Structure formats: structure tokens, C-alpha cells
Structure 1
Amino acid sequence: MSGTFLYGANVRANGIRQHYLRYGGAGPALILIPGITSPAITWGFVAERLGREFDTYVLDVRGRGLSETGSGLDYGIDACADDVTAFAGALGLAEAGYHLAGHSMGARFAIRAAVRQPKGIQRLVLIDPPVSGPGRRAYPSNLDWYVDSIRQAVAGMDADAMRAFCPTWTIEQLRLRAEWLHTCHEPAIVETYRGFHEDDIHQDLPNLPVPALLIVAGRGGVIQAEDEAEIRQLQPGIRIARVEDAGHMIPWDDYEGFFAAFGDFLGKPLT
């Protein structure tokens, strides 16, 4: 670790141990929630840059990374959303105010967190959230893709084996995922994936209490033009930015384009 990385730590919040990585240490606070099988460390290269401008905290969502896990935990959207706001409260971030950003699953948790417990949240950044739900088209990635890769990681796999699941990634990205994917608790992933199809985040969109930015992957297949139109109808004030030449894992595909998509939404461009 180098650059803006400060340390990793644990805090007890919402009744569980939550692990996080902190970058920057100065400027407005920003909490980043990764996606369904992304431990905090895998977003370190993004947080390094965010840390230049923000006091950045990257969470290990329950059931992932070094946060609490096990068969007795609730992995539903409400519990995970409450983890985020409890984390902010435990570290005193809610008093001064903080920005909340989430990728994929993390964006859905951010939406729900902002509606359930908005105290301290100033701005929302929603990075390619699944728009599946009751009566809607399915999320484009198959559950077997997640489960098969996790089971191989638990048994032990290297970067070459991981390439079968992430063929466009660099060797560094593959090594990191192969190293950490085994920390993703399979039942947690299955419950989250089920929630993609059973939880209705669209009902929350009209009630967002703060300004929101939606960042869409142009090649992701997750959010399509008709979805953008519906989201605008539900939340007319939302800002939408597209990263045209990126798949769902946007900063992996177009690092500069990802940060450019923020524009001045968080106060100034991210350089």
C-alpha cells in the first residue's frame, strides 16, 4: 500500500464487526460501498485517487472481505443499508456530513440507506446499480458465474484460473480477485443475488433526500436507455453520466472515463 492509503481497521456498528480501508484522511468524508463480490481491497486503486480529494472509507460489506460473516447473519438489503449508516454514525461522519457512493449492489444499498436513515448524507453517487426487481427483466449476470468462481477460490485458484471468469482483466486485477474472492461467503452472495430480483429499489427513487448522480456503463447491459428514462421520471433531479466504452466494472475498463463521469458533482472534478 502507498499513495493516499492510511490504514485498515474494524468498528462495531449495527451489531456486527465492520472492516474498512481509509484513504486520504482530509477533505469531505466519502463512504464507498463495493459490489456483490468485491471486497474493499479490490477497490483500492479507485480509493487511492478519491483519497486525493476526500477522506475516503471503503467498506467490506458483511459477508465479504474481513467484515463479520457466517450463516447467522441477515444479508438482506435493509440490514446492509443500515450497516452503512451505522458505520457513519460510529465513526462520527454523520455529524459533519458525508458523501455516499456505491457500485452495483453497493449502489442499491446506498439508495436504501439514504431513504431509511438520511442523517448526514450530502450526495449520492450510484454506479451502474442493477435495475432488476419484481416484474422486471433479470440481472444480466448468472448466479452460477458467481457461485462457481467462489467455490474455486475457496478451494484455491490463481490468476490464470480466474481469467476464465474475467477474461478482459489485467494480470494484477486477476491476482487480486483470486486472492480475495474466497472471503465472499456463498450464502451472502446468493441472498444478495436473490435480492436483485426481489427488492424494489424503484420505489425508493422518488424519495431520495439528496442530489444523486447515476453513472452508467455504456457496455454493461445493466442499465439501458429505457431504464434511464424511467429513473429520470421517478427522480427528475438526478444527474446521469455515461461511460460509453466500459462494462459493468467501469473503472476496470475505463479508469479515466470513470472519474471524468463525476464532473463537478462532488464539488470539483476528480483529477
Structure 2
Amino acid sequence: MQSTFLYGGNVHANGIRQHYLRYGGHGRSVVIVPGITSPAVTWGFVAERFGRHFDTYVLDVRGRGLSEASETLDYSLNACAADIAGFTEALGLQSFALVGHSMGARHGIRMAAHFDTRLERLVLVDPPVSGPGRRPYPAQLPWYIDSIRLMKKGADFEALRPFSPTWSDAQLRLRSEWLHTCDERAILASYHGFHEDDIHTDLPKLAVPTLLIVAGKGNVILPEDVAEIRELQPAIQVAHVESAGHMIPWDDEEGFYRAFGDFLGRPL
């Protein structure tokens, strides 16, 4: 099947250079915001599918991929949430849906609650539910930092296999190619933010249709977490991908697409 990839580009928004990849170019605008150590290109296979039906943009979160990074840059949740609002405004998107994975879902929650009124739909893919006084995020910080440092030294993709033993060679090769672009300061700030920022206070403020996609084997969102989220945001829709870990489309790609149903206007 012909690729839906159109081009990569940069835009100056919220005071920084933001890099993105565009797919499809028709239909509803959808912005994909990846997780803590996932540059935009690593979500290209998902964006290819989205691009069949939607005008799809995959964002390099600040400090990752080809977006701006520096030792003085603010990597806080608020800054990253404001980036999304600034990015969509700079591109002239009059309305859009947001699909955020993990950290990207937390950015989407904060953005939707405080920064943007042009958002039409919000999809939260297995967001960390850690925060002040809550159980810690299950992935340990060295899992991220050690793998980044290995790739910065030029280690082969096989060095990543102990970190992600179920991934294919192709998946590991792509991650190994781009992981070195993740600024360690950004990762530290985001990881600590998982435990210091309270996204639960934002959930009642969500005013758009919202879908929560839960990984059945991720141990990130437990049944009691779903119950609390439903209590805070009774209108939220919930879908489960029972066979997948936290990196849902890597573990069960078709199950990931099925979880959307027609939430974005048409099935994937």
C-alpha cells in the first residue's frame, strides 16, 4: 500500500522550534503526542495508518527528536502542554483531535484543561496515573537513562534487547537510531513530573469527548485507577487492549486500532 507520509517540518511555536511529521493531509486533523523517550519518527508506523483517514501530525516533544533542546529549556508539564496549543495554532488548525501516549497523554490532559478550546476529541493512551501521594510509576528511571547513554555512545541495537525483550529487530533498530536524541534533562524532568504533577485535578475540567485506552498488561493503569478516573470524569469512554503492554501498538497493533472504534469519526 502506498505510504501516507507527506513531509517533515519545523515551526516556531510557544517560543521554541518544534519538529513534526505529517501524514495523510485530508480529513479531521489529528495530533499524535508520543511518550517520554519516543521521538516522532518511532510513531511513524501508527501515523501511516492514521494518514489513510486523517490529516495526521506527529510531534517531537521538546527535548526529543529534532525539536529544540537545551540546558536552560523548561521541560515541565505546563510548558509541554502549552507547546501543543502553540503548535496547533501556528499550523492554523481550526479544530483537531489529540492522541497522546503515556507522557503525551498527560500533556494532552493538561492542555485540554487549561490551554486550548479548539480541541474536539481527546484520546489518552495508557497515561501514568502516578502523582503526589500516589503509587510510583512502574517503570524505573534507570530503564530510560541507561538505554539513552548506551545509544549516545553508539551501541548496537542489540544493546536495547534487554530493555525491550519482546520487540522485533526492526523496532529495536529504529529505537536505537533515535534514542540518542532524547535529552537526558528532559527525561529527568518528565519522569519526576510523573510523581510531582497531579493530573487528576485536571480530569473534571475536560470538556471534550475523551477516550481512555488501557493496556491489559502494562501495570500502569489498574482497575481501581479506571474507577477513579470514571468518578472524576463520568463521561469518559474506556477501551482495553488486554494482550498489550504499555507500548500498546508495538505489542498489539491491530488491537490498538480497534480500541478507537469510531471515536475519531471513522474506524482505523
Cα-to-partner distance string for 1:83-119 (whole Å, 9 max, x where unaligned): 00000000001x2x10011000000000000111222
Question: Cα RMSD (Å) of the superposition?
Answer: 0.6
1:158 deviates by 1.4
Q: 1:161 aligns with which of 159, 162, 166?
A: 159
3-state secondary structure, aligned to 2:108: helix
The match for 1:59 is 59
Question: What is the rounded CA distance, in whole Å, between the counterparts of 2:133 and 2:179 in structure 1?
Answer: 31
Task: Give, as a single letter, the amino acid of the residue that structure 2 aligns with 1:10.
Answer: N
1:269 deviates by 1.2
Q: 2:220 aligns with which of 219, 222, 236?
A: 222
User: What 5-or-longer segments of structure 2 have no aligned partner?
Assistant: none
Question: What is the rounded CA distance, in whole Å, between the counterparts of 1:14 and 1:118 in structure 2?
Answer: 13
The match for 1:258 is 256
3-state secondary structure, aligned to 1:246: coil
The match for 1:170 is 168
TM-score under structure 2 normalisation?
0.99
Question: What is the rounded CA distance, in whole Å, between the counterparts of 1:26 and 1:32 in structure 2?
Answer: 15
Is 1:132 aligned to residue 130 of structure 2? yes
Identity in percent: 67
The match for 1:9 is 9
The match for 1:33 is 33
3-state secondary structure, aligned to 2:66: coil
TM-score under structure 1 normalisation?
0.98
Cα-to-partner distance string for 1:44-86 (whole Å, 9 max, x where unaligned): 0000000011100000000000000011100000000000000
Task: Give, as a single letter, the amino acid of the residue that structure 2 aligns with 1:54.
Answer: F
Question: What is the rounded CA distance, in whole Å, between the counterparts of 2:115 and 2:27 in structure 1?
Answer: 23
User: What 5-or-longer segments of structure 1 have no aligned partner?
Assistant: none
Runs of 4+ in 1 over 3 A off after TM superposition: none
Question: What is the rounded CA distance, in whole Å, between the counterparts of 1:206 and 1:237 in structure 2?
Answer: 10
Cα-to-partner distance string for 1:106-138 (whole Å, 9 max, x where unaligned): 000000001112221000000000000000000
Q: 1:118, 1:209 within 8 Å by CA — same for their partners in 2?
A: no
Matches within 5 A, 1:92-241: 92-93=92-93, 95=94, 97-241=95-239
Number of aligned residue pairs: 267
Task: Give, as a single letter, the amino acid of the residue that structure 1 aligns with 2:136.
Answer: A
The match for 1:19 is 19
